[in-house]
Chain A
Amino acid sequence: MRYKFLTGAFAATVALNFAGPAAATDLEVTHWWTSGGEAAAVAELAKAFDATGNHWVDGAIAGSGGTARPIMISRITGGDPMGATQFNHGRQAEELVQAGLMRDLTDIATKDKWTEIVRPKSLLDSCTIGGKIYCVPVNIHSWQWLWLSNEAFQKAGVPMPKDWNEFVAAAPALEKAGIIPLAVGGQPWQASGAFDVLLAAVGGTDAFLKVYKDKDAKFAAGPEIAKVFKAADDARKMAKNTNVQDWNQATNLVITGKAGGQIMGDWAQGEFQVAGKTAGKDYACLPGLGLNEVIATGGDAFYFPLLKDEAKSKAQEVLAETLLDPKTQVAFNLKKGSLPVRGDVDLNSANDCMKKGLAILAKGAVIPWTDQLLSQDSQKQKEDLFSEFFAKPDMTLEEAQKRFANIIASAD
C-alpha cells in the first residue's frame, strides 16, 4: 500500500493531465515521441483516433524511453494507469503482463485476424506471453542504418562510402576537413546500440544470434567478437569529438554536414525529413552498414493497462483497431520514417531509404532486436559498459571484451 501510495504520488506530479468525464471517451496515451519528426507522426495517430469519435489525450513524456518508461511503469504499478502506453515490444513490459496489470487483447486479435496481417510474424510473437496477445505493434524500427551526409564528404573531397570499411578509410580525410567522422551522442543507449549494429554487420547474423539469443559467453569472448570490438574501436576513435548528448542533436550534426555519418535507427530519417532533406541527394543511408543487409524487427507497440471503467475499455478496443488500420499505418509510418507492420499497405510515397528497408523486409532478412532478446537489466549493464568504452580512449579492447562476455554469461 505504501509503495502504491508513493509511486502514485510520484506519478501524479509528473502527469497532471487527468482525463475528465466528457461525452466522447477520453483516453490518455503516454509515449516518448517528442522530437520533431516523432511528434508529427504521433499527431497522425491522434487524428485517426479522434476521427472515431473518441478523444486522444496526449501524454508525451520528454527525454527518451529511458526517462519515460520508469514514469509509465510507476503509474501502472501505482494504481493510476493511463488508457494506453507505448513500449518497445519485447521484454520491457513482460513483468507487468505477468503481474496481471495489462489487458489481454487476444479476442480483438482473433476477430481482426492479426496473425494474418502482421508481418513479420516475430512482431506479434514478442507481444505474445503465455499464448495470449498483449500489445499492438505499430511499426518496425531497425537500428541497422548508417546515415551519411553528402555535404560532409564533398567538403572533404572523398567519394561517398558504400560500406562501413570504406567509411572508416575515409575518416582521416574527413577529420582533416574539420568534420567529425562519426557522430555518437552521449546518451548511453546510443553507444550500446551502435555496438549491436556493428555486431550484426561486422560479425554477421549468426554471431549476433549466438551472442544475444543463445547467450554463448564463450563465443562472446572469442576471436570473432574480437573483430567486432576492433570495429568498435574504430568507431570510438571516429566519434571522439562529438560533444552532444541527445541522438537528434547528433543527427543534426549529420544534417548540417558537421559530421560525416551516424549509426542510428531509422527514426533518424524523420529528422532528415523535418529538415527538408532528400534521401539520395542530401543524405545517404546504408542498411546493415552496407556489409550485412538485414534489419532488426524492434519497434514500438502499444500496451493497454487493465481498466475498470467500461467506456474506457471500449475506447481501448477502438484504439487497438485504429492503430492497425491500413490508412493509419501509412500516415504514421511515413512521418515516423519507420516501416509499417502490415505488408498489404500501399507505400508508393515512401522515399529511397524506406524502400530499401521494405525490400529487405520482403526478402525476409530480419533478425530480432536486443529489446526482444535481453532483459532490461542486461541491456543496462551493456549500456554502462559501452558508454564507458566510448568515453574512455584508454580502455583496452581485451578488457572491454572480457566484461562484455561476463555480461552475456549472466544475461537473462
Chain B
Amino acid sequence: MSNSERPNQLFRNLNAKIASVPMILTALVVFVGGTAWTVLYSFTNSKLLPRLNFVGLDQYHRLWSTSRWLISIENLLIYGAISLVFSLVIGFLLAALLDQKIRFEDTFRTIFLYPFALSFIVTGLVWQWLLNPDFGVQRVVRDLGWTSFSFDPLYNSSIVIYGISIAALWQGTGLIMCLMLAGLRGIDEDIWKAARVDGIPAWKTYLFIIIPMMRPVFITTLVIIAAGIVKVYDLVVAQTSGGPGIASEVPAKYVYDYMFFAQNLGQGFAASTMMLLSVVIVIVPWAYLEFGGKKRG
C-alpha cells in the first residue's frame, strides 16, 4: 500500500475510510437520527401512527404519575444494584479462585461460562420452571421431607424482582469471571513476588494492589453490566411477563407495551427518552472525569 508520493491527508488509509462509511452512516442515521426523532415525537400526542401534534410535557406528566412506571423504575434500581454488586463480586471471586493454578481450570471455566451461551429467553424459561412452586426447587425440597419449605419468588409480588435477578446472575456472572480472569492474567508475576517478599497477605495484595491495577478491566466490565441492566426486557418477559400483576415490570417493557399494545407512541417515546436520559446522567459525568481528566494531565 506504500505509494511513492505522500498522499493528501484526506486520502490516507482511504480503504479504511471507505470501509467505515457504512458504519458511520448507520451510527448517524440510525442511532443519532433515530434518537432525535424519538425525543421529538415524545412531545406529541402520537397514537398508533407518528403525528407532529405537539402537547408539550403532557406525556411526561402522565408517565411520572403512572404507578406502573414508578414500579418499573424501582425494579430497575433493585435489579441494577443486585446485578452490579453481585456479578462483580462473584465474578471476581471466581476468577481469583481459578487463578490459584488449580487443576481442571479449563473445565471449571467452561462450566461457569456455559450459561452465557444461552439467551435471556431460554434462561428465563429455565428459571421459571426451577422457581415454579409446583415442580421446581420448592417441590424437590418438600419431597425430601421438609414439607413446610416455601420458595416461590416468582409468585410473590414483594420478592419477584429478586427471583429475576437470580436468573440474570446465573447467566451473566460467567462472562464477568472471564473478563476478570483475563485481567488477572495480565498482572505481572513480579508484582506478586514483590508483595510476597514484603510479607503482604494475599487478600491485601488483591484489594490494594491488583484491583487498582485492573482498573481498565473493571471499567469495561462496568459498561457491559450497566448496558445489560438498562435494556433488561426479554428475561422478564420469559420469566413472569411482568407479573404477578405488575410487580416485575421494567422500563423497557413499559416502552414496548405502550408503543405497540396500547397504540400510544407518544407515551412509549416519552418513556424511552427517560431511559436515555438516565443513561446520559450516568455516562456524562463519568466520561468527563475519565477523558476530560486525561487531557489535562
Q: Does B263 contact A (CB under 8 A)?
A: yes
Q: Does B99 contact A (CB under 8 A)?
A: no
Across the interface, do A243 and B134 meet the contact criterion of CB distance under 8 Å?
Answer: yes
Closest A residue by C-beta to B260: A70
Find chain A residues with CB under 8 A from B47 CB.
Answer: 95, 375, 377
Q: Chain A at the B interface: mostly helix, strand, loop or mixed?
A: helix
Across the interface, do B67 and A391 meet the contact criterion of CB distance under 8 Å?
Answer: no
Q: How many A-B residue pairs have CB under 8 A?
A: 80
Q: Which chain B residues numbered 108 to 164 have a C-beta less than 8 Å away from chain A?
A: 133-134, 155, 157
Selecting from B26-34, B87-95, B175-183, B275-283, the interface stretch reads B26-34
Closest B residue by C-beta to A243: B155
Q: Does B243 contact A (CB under 8 A)?
A: yes
Q: Does A381 contact B (CB under 8 A)?
A: yes
Across the interface, do B49 and A66 meet the contact criterion of CB distance under 8 Å?
Answer: no
Across the interface, do A376 and B67 meet the contact criterion of CB distance under 8 Å?
Answer: no
Contacts A96-B48, A376-B263 known; A391 to B134 CB distance under 8 Å?
no
Q: Which chain B residues numbered 32 to 71 have a C-beta less than 8 Å away from chain A?
A: 33-34, 47-50, 62, 66-68
In the complex, what's the smallest C-beta–C-beta distance from B155 to chain A, in angstroms? 6
Contact of B247 among A2, A243, A245, A391 (CB under 8 A): A391
Contact of B262 among A377, A389, A410 (CB under 8 A): A377
Q: Does A34 contact B (CB under 8 A)?
A: no
Cα distance, A376 to B261, chains bound together (Å): 7
Find chain A residues with CB under 8 A from B216 CB.
Answer: none
Q: Does A388 contact B (CB under 8 A)?
A: yes
Contact of A388 among B29, B155, B241, B245 (CB under 8 A): B245
Across the interface, do A3 and B50 meet the contact criterion of CB distance under 8 Å?
Answer: yes
Contacts A73-B48, A403-B67 known; A387 to B243 CB distance under 8 Å?
yes
Cα distance, A390 to B70, chains bound together (Å): 19
Known: A99-B49, A391-B243. 5 other contacts (CB 8 A): A77-B49, A243-B134, A384-B68, A391-B244, A391-B245
Q: Chain B at the A interface: mostly helix, strand, loop or mixed?
A: loop
Find chain A residues with CB under 8 A from B157 CB.
Answer: 391-392
Chain A 384-412 interface 0/1 with B at a Cβ cutoff of 8 Å (1 = within) = 10011111100000000001000000100
Across the interface, do B245 and A377 meet the contact criterion of CB distance under 8 Å?
Answer: no
Q: Does A186 contact B (CB under 8 A)?
A: yes
5 contacts between A and B (CB under 8 A): A69-B260, A73-B263, A95-B47, A375-B47, A388-B247
Q: Which chain A residues numbered 176 to 233 have a C-beta less than 8 Å away from chain B?
A: 186-187
Q: Does A380 contact B (CB under 8 A)?
A: yes
Most chain B CB neighbours (cut-off 10 Å) among A3, A94, A379, A380 = A380
Q: Does B83 contact A (CB under 8 A)?
A: no
Cα distance, A376 to B258, chains bound together (Å): 9
Cα distance, A410 to B61, chains bound together (Å): 13
Q: Which chain A residues numbered 335 to 357 have a C-beta less than 8 Å away from chain B?
A: none
Chain B 224-255 interface 0/1 with A at a Cβ cutoff of 8 Å (1 = within) = 00000000000000000101111100000000
Q: Which chain B residues numbered 8 to 41 have a C-beta less than 8 Å away from chain A?
A: 29-30, 33-34
In the complex, what's the smallest C-beta–C-beta distance from A381 to chain B, in angstroms? 7
Most chain B CB neighbours (cut-off 10 Å) among A3, A99, A376, A410 = A376
Contacts A377-B262, A392-B157 known; A387 to B246 CB distance under 8 Å?
yes
Q: Does B264 contact A (CB under 8 A)?
A: yes
Contact of B67 among A73, A96, A388 (CB under 8 A): A388
In the complex, what's the smallest C-beta–C-beta distance from B68 to chain A, in angstroms? 5
Contacts A375-B47, A387-B243 known; A2 to B155 CB distance under 8 Å?
no
In the complex, what's the smallest C-beta–C-beta distance from B267 to chain A, in angstroms? 7
Contacts A2-B29, A403-B67 known; A186 to B241 CB distance under 8 Å?
yes
Cα distance, A381 to B261, chains bound together (Å): 11
Chain A 1-12 interface 0/1 with B at a Cβ cutoff of 8 Å (1 = within) = 011000000000
In the complex, what's the smallest C-beta–C-beta distance from B265 to chain A, in angstroms? 10
Find chain A residues with CB under 8 A from B74 CB.
Answer: none
Cα distance, A298 to B66, chains bound together (Å): 28
Cα distance, A200 to B218, chains bound together (Å): 59
Cα distance, A162 to B33, chains bound together (Å): 61
Find chain B residues with CB under 8 A from A390 CB.
Answer: 245
Chain A 94-111 interface 0/1 with B at a Cβ cutoff of 8 Å (1 = within) = 111001000000000000
Cα distance, A390 to B285, chains bound together (Å): 42
Cα distance, A323 to B68, chains bound together (Å): 41
In the complex, what's the smallest C-beta–C-beta distance from B154 to chain A, in angstroms? 10
Most chain B CB neighbours (cut-off 10 Å) among A3, A186, A245, A379 = A186
Find chain B residues with CB under 8 A from A245 CB.
Answer: 241, 243
Find chain B residues with CB under 8 A from A391 CB.
Answer: 157, 243-247
Across the interface, do B257 and A380 meet the contact criterion of CB distance under 8 Å?
Answer: yes
Find chain B residues with CB under 8 A from A77 CB.
Answer: 48-49
Across the interface, do B67 and A380 meet the contact criterion of CB distance under 8 Å?
Answer: no
In the complex, what's the smallest C-beta–C-beta distance from B12 to chain A, in angstroms? 32
Contacts A77-B49, A403-B67 known; A375 to B263 CB distance under 8 Å?
yes
Contact of A384 among B29, B33, B134, B246 (CB under 8 A): B246
Across the interface, do A66 and B245 meet the contact criterion of CB distance under 8 Å?
Answer: no
Cα distance, A99 to B46, chains bound together (Å): 13
